[in-house]
Amino acid sequence: MNTSEIAGRYAVLANDTCCLSCGGAAGKSEARPDEVCIDLGSGRGTDVLRLAEEVGPKGFVYGIDITDEMIRKASTTAAKMGVENVKFVQSDLEQIMLDSDIADLVISNCTLNHVSNKPKVWAEIYRLLKNGGRFVISDIYSSDPVPEEYALDPVAVAECWAGSVTKAQYLEIIHSAGFKDFRILEESAPYPKGKIEVSSFTITARKDEYSCC
Ligand SMILES: C[S@@+](CC[C@H](N)C(=O)[O-])C[C@H]1O[C@@H](n2cnc3c(N)ncnc32)[C@H](O)[C@@H]1O
């Protein structure tokens, strides 16, 4: 998926009031004081600002997004609110411009389905987490493999459904990235989205570099 097509769609939504989300990652993440957190696909920055309050002045939250307008909108809001323990970084999730082993918590809401190289994003999540750190990710999965005519259509992918993979594929990608014991915190019944049927879910796991295979 071409990231400039994604950024083009989200540029016009940066200052809109419509909802961008599909799950409850931030609400389920239980961020604690002093933690370092990263939100992947941070959009207008709502979840970053919420986490910033939870981690307090000695904690820090990074928001990562590909869309220039989203970064600008989120940074402006944080500045207006006087929030100093946040930074919004414009970056593709397949190659995130942050150092390794820095995060206690990685969250994401309704974003990873957009990304074409999902194993690469999950390798990045593993790289960014400290040992013992956790992710809490909300996303969708498709009931059946998405037909190629939609999966290769950039507009359909940007509409948050055609880039989805099945639950079995999703869990296999997470497992291959190095996360062994994951838990599903919430999961919806299948519902129609675009031309397919999807479910929303929120999933969590810890990075444990020393767990045996
Ligand atoms: C559906 S919105 C969700 C925004 C936010 N997480 C929320 O819940 O309100 C998806 C966001 O992911 C960003 N995004 C999509 N693909 C991306 C990529 N490959 N790298 C970085 N950001 C991406 C978009 O710019 C957009 O802001």
Q: What is the pLDDT of residues 167-213, one digit of tens each?
A: 999 999 999 999 988 999 999 999 999 999 999 999 999 999 777 55
Does ligand 1 lie within 6 Å of residue 74's CB atom? no
The verdict on the CB of residue 63 being under 6 Å from ligand 1 is: no
- Which of 22, 48, 107, 114 for mutating ligand 1's site (highest number of atoms within 8 Å of CB)? 114
Query: What is the predicted pLDDT for the residue at 95?
Result: 97
The neighbour count for residue 184, using CB atoms within 10 Å, is: 11
Residue 63 bridge partners (DSSP): 39, 88
Q: What is the mean pLDDT of the chain?
A: 92
Instruction: Tell me the CA distances in angstroms from 180 to 27, 104, 118, 123, 204, one per residue in order.
Output: 23, 17, 17, 13, 11
The alpha carbon of 189 and the centre of ligand 1 are apart by a number of angstroms equal to: 24
pLDDT of residue 210: 79
Ligand 1 centroid from CA 94, angstroms = 12
Is residue 16 pLDDT above 70, yes or no? Answer: no
Quick check: CB of 70 below 6 Å from ligand 1? yes
pLDDT higher than threshold 80 for residue 96: yes
What is the identity of the amino acid at 85? N
pLDDT tens-digit series, residues 112-135: 999 999 999 999 999 999 999 999
Q: Which domains does the chain have, with CATH numbers?
A: 3-202 (3.40.50.150)
The predicted pLDDT at position 209 comes to 79
d(CA 72, CA 90): 9
pLDDT digits (tens, 9 = 90+) for 22-77: 678 999 999 999 999 999 999 999 999 999 999 999 999 999 999 999 999 999 99
